[in-house]
Amino acid sequence: MQVWKFGGTSVGKPERMKSIRDLVTANETRKIVVLSALSGSTNALLAMGESLMKGEKAEANKQIDELKAHYDQFLTELFSTENGLTEGKAIVEKEFGFIRSLADLKIYTQKHDKQMVAEGELLSTQIFTAYMKEQGGSVVLLPALEFMSIDADNEPELAKIEEKLTGLLATQTDKQILVTQGFICRNPRGEVDNLKRGGSDYTASLIGGAITAEEIQIWTDIDGMHNNDPRIVSRTFPVRELLFEEAAELAYFGAKILHPSTITPAKMRGVPVRLKNTMAPDAPGTVIKSSISGGAEIKAIAAKDNITAIYVHSTRMLNAYGFLRKVFDVFEKFKTPVDMITTSEVSVAVTIDNPENLDKITEELSQFADMEEHDRNQSIICIVGNFLADKPGIAIRILEAVKGIPIRMISYGASEHNISLLVDSAHKNEALEALNEGLFEFN
């Protein structure tokens, strides 16, 4: 069994949805097909939620009408039979009926907003399943809300997911294609929740890990993981093979093609992840696995924005053990992950990407350390590859490439796959471009 995930742009137009059917039925392999919402839908649903939160009902209803019109048009271009179209219309009427009922609520809360944003995946998967049936496919819809769940810390409940999914699959042994929703899940209160923006990739990997799939394929609008951010840098190219560790670093540090947590479940069960292009299905894409032969030393670069650097000074650090523990206890207490860390004899600098509890963290740290002003609007630039510890020359090549750019922090040596630099976000694009030109060769 394989798990294939299609992102928003891959299902965003009727002709794309038709080509997905062709792709998933092109061979005999049984597949779980994970779908995102049609491109633009999640943003549109969030915008409706925002209007409702502000009490702007008329605006929300206008937004609902616009989105509904989009789906009505989509259906007429997708289905080729009366029966198919009737089925499609029934789905859209039902889901938009629910969306309107949310908009009619006297008090619209976070809980309702999560239900609202889930509608994108609920719509796309039901429409696709109906289309597959119209075309005579062996298909069934597996509702993600029946097996995908997160705990109180928003972490997926792996054991439960595995148990529930295995049980559901045991009832569907005769079906060839099993469609399910990416992104959405239930929280410990049983409410509808989600795996954060871009979370459909994570769904695919959680499912692939849970059933120890033969392979997880992430289908998107680009030919695999590029060596640098193609939205920013002009000359990028696809990287054909990556280790789990390398891909995990790239995803975590900003390569938008993968949700930051995607690699973890796949790596845990040793399931290869293949990134493929829906627009060019024959292109090789990128394969991510536990061991690869050869490959370039420096593989790819990614950048993560909205980073805050926090500087903590201790006058008593000399010979003082326990200081770092005290510092990290504070971050743990406020459930704030630390990305980068550098130390000197008397100081520690750390970066965080979630400043929600920054004031409380600073206050607690101030009880035993001197705090300097934080630097906001920073970017971590992460250079990924195979940096063997006893091989000289990597650091100098990186620093040479960015010699004209001020660097706030450097992290080197923690892993053989990652070297990170912290720069002010104002310099990010320039740094990515400079590293691209300095570290890669172009024919």
42 makes contact, choosing from ligand ASP, Mg ion, ligand ADP, none, with CB < 5 to 8 Å by partner type, with ligand ASP
Is 229 near ligand ADP (CB under 6 A)? yes
Residue 34 or 348 with smaller CB distance to Mg ion: 34
Sheet of strand 177-181: strand arrangement: 139-142, 177-181, 31-35, 2-6, 215-220, 273-277, 286-289, 241-243
Among 54, 70, 197, 376, binds ligand ASP (CB under 6 A): 197
Q: Compute the distance between CA of residue 227 and CA of residue 422 in angstroms, rounded to an integer.
A: 19
* Strand, coil or helix: 23: helix
The string of DSSP letters for 142-160 reads: E-GGGT-BB-TTS-B-HHH
Question: Does 285 sit near ligand ADP (CB under 6 A)?
Answer: no
Per CB under 6 A, does 49 bind ligand ADP?
Answer: no
- 75-83, 197-205, 241-249, 366-374 -> range binding ligand ASP (CB under 6 A): 197-205
Count of residues touching Mg ion (by CB under 5 A): 2
Closest separation in Å from C-beta 203 to ligand ADP: 11
Of the candidate residues 88, 156, 199, 385, the single one contacting ligand ASP (CB under 6 A): 199
Residue showing tokens 């900003």: 254
7 near ligand ASP, rule: CB under 6 A: yes
Segment near ligand ADP (CB under 6 A); pick from 79-87, 229-237, 324-332, 357-365: 229-237
Binding of ligand ADP at residue 31 (CB under 6 A)? no
Concatenated DSSP letters for 344-356? -SSEEEEEES-GG
CA distance 300 to 265: 22
From the list ligand ADP, ligand ASP, Mg ion, none, pick the one residue 120 interacts with, judged by a Cβ distance below 5 to 8 Å according to partner type: ligand ASP
SS3 412: strand
**One symbol per residue from 5 to 44: x for binding Mg ion (CB under 5 A), - otherwise; what is it?**
--x-------------------------------------
Q: Tell which one of 44, 122, 204, 222 touches ligand ADP (CB under 6 A).
A: 222
Which residues sit opposite 218 in a β-bridge? 5, 275
Of residues 2, 3, 4, 8, which one binds ligand ADP by CB under 6 A? 8
Find the binding residues for Mg ion in span 183-222 (CB under 5 A).
198
220 part of the interface to ligand ADP, by CB under 6 A: yes
Indicate which of Mg ion, ligand ADP, ligand ASP, none lies near residue 197 (CB less than 5 to 8 Å, by partner kind).
Answer: ligand ASP
Q: Report the amino acid identity of residue 40.
A: G
For residue 65, give the 3-state DSSP assignment: helix
Smallest Cα–Cα separation from 49: which of 35, 67, 75? 67
By the rule CB under 6 A, 314 interacts with ligand ASP: no
> Which residues 376-405 are close enough to bind ligand ASP by CB under 6 A?
none
- Between CA 41 and CA 332 the distance in angstroms is 35
| Chain centre to alpha carbon of residue 158 | 17
Given the rule CB under 6 A, which of 120-128, 227-235, 383-391, 392-400 is the region that contacts ligand ADP?
Answer: 227-235
Tokens of 324: 């770092």
Strand partners, 275: 218, 286
226 scored as a contact of ligand ADP (CB under 6 A): yes
Angle at 395 between CA 394 and CA 400, to 5 degrees: 105
Neighbouring CB atoms inside 10 A of 429's CB total 15
State which residue, 222 or 398, has the beta carbon closest to Mg ion.
222
Which amino acid is residue 413, in one-letter code?
A: G
- Is residue 80 within 8 A of residue 14, CB to CB? The reply is no
Q: Are 381 and 408 in contact (CB under 8 A)?
A: no
Closest contact distance (angstroms) between CB of 313 and ligand ADP is 36
When CB distances are held under 5 to 8 angstroms depending on the partner's kind, the choice from Mg ion, ligand ASP, ligand ADP, none that residue 183 binds is ligand ASP
- Subset of residues 299 to 338 that bind ligand ADP, contact rule: CB under 6 A: 302
Q: What is the DSSP letter of 81?
A: S
Stretch that binds ligand ADP, among 75-83, 133-141, 221-229, 416-424 (CB under 6 A): 221-229
Residue with tokens 């899940």: 185
Q: Are 169 and 208 in contact (CB under 8 A)?
A: no
Instruction: Report the interface residues with ligand ASP, using CB under 6 A.
Output: 7-8, 36-37, 42, 120, 182-183, 197-200
Instruction: Report the interface residues with ligand ADP, using CB under 6 A.
Output: 7-10, 36, 198, 220-222, 225-226, 229-231, 255-257, 302
Instruction: Report the interface residues with Mg ion, using CB under 5 A.
Output: 7, 198
